[in-house]
Amino acid sequence: MPHAALTLLCSLLCLACPISAYAEEIFDGFSLAMLGAHTNTCAITFDDGPGPHTPRLLGILRERNIKATFFVLGSRVARYPQTMRAIAAEGHEVGNHTYSHVNLRNLAPETQRDEIARTDAALLELGIPVRYLRPPYGRYDKNTLEQAAIENLTIVMWSIDSRDWQSPRQPMARVLPRSSSGKVHGVFLFHDNHRSTVDAMPRILDDLAAAGCQFVTLSEYLDNDGPVCLH
């Protein structure tokens, strides 16, 4: 789709989007799909770690010179500090996935604040800066938006869900989508706490590369020059 037409489509769809004071701090799945629609850029992200399988995953990424983004749980940061240091040392990005993987919409504002702030604090103790928040299950409310703003975090979801938690034997079944132009792009969601996912990652990454993916960091993907519709 031409750039101008894509921009117009985004604008029209956003007319129905609720407006909030924090609208510019959310990249939902639609926004992310539109952002990369005219490119072959692929941002690989992992939720729920770090864990015992993460070091092996780091080796897989290192062999292919791919930088990923890890949305980590604060409780696991405290359990695997050396793995967290390795993630940062190898140039991967790190995001906040709350402290204990709870549905933030079910929590009081002060409890949400604790879930987010404790994870930021655990990472900062290791010297790891954080720019992004991904609420567990993709669920958030106005209190989440307020706390993200306080912590200077941008909420980023995903556009391609591998559903590796649902079908551990086929974690790549949903990860080769193409746009109408034939390009493969998106922000891909995996979970590095599943051994089956890490087992499958060499083939997944190689297949994505063969399909034309240009692997970028999440920051690079979000900095894309294409049109974006936020809500």
> Tens digits of per-residue pLDDT, 44-67?
999 999 999 999 999 999 999 999
Give how many domains the chain has, as a whole number.
1
pLDDT more than 90, % of the chain: 68
Strand partners, 41: 214
Supply the pLDDT for residue 11.
36
- The size of the chain, in residues, is 231
Question: 135 in a domain, yes or no?
Answer: yes
Please state whether 48 falls in left (phi above 0), alpha (psi between -120 and 50) or beta: left
Residue 7 included in any domain: no
DSSP annotation of 106 reads: G
- Write the pLDDT tens digit of every residue in 61-92: 999 999 999 999 999 999 999 999 999 999 99
Tokens at 100, concatenated: 């204990």
Asked whether residue 48 is assigned to any structural domain, the reply reads yes
Is residue 18 in a domain? Answer: no
- Token pair 């770090």 is at which residue? 50
- Say whether 47 is catalytic: yes
Exactly one of 47, 48, 120, 164 is catalytic; which is it?
47
Question: What is the band of 169 on the pLDDT scale with cuts at 50, 70, 90?
Answer: low
What is the per-residue pLDDT across 85-111, written as a single tens digit (0 to 9) for each?
A: 999 999 999 999 999 999 999 999 999
pLDDT of residue 164: 85
The reply to whether 191 belongs to the active site is: yes
Give yes or no for a cis peptide into 168 (omega within 30° of 0). Answer: no
Distance CA 81, CA 127 (A): 11
* CATH code, domain carrying 56: 3.20.20.370
SS3 category, 82? helix
Task: Report if residue 191 sits inside a domain.
Answer: yes
Instruction: Considering the candidates 38, 53, 191, 194, report the single residue annotated as catalytic.
Output: 191
**Residue 106's domain spans which residues?**
24-222
Looking at the domain assignment, is residue 177 inside a domain? yes
Residue that has been written with the tokens 């609720």 in this structure:
18
pLDDT grade for 159, boundaries at 50, 70 and 90:
very high
Q: Any bridge partners for residue 44, and if so which?
A: 188
Q: For 157, which DSSP code?
A: -
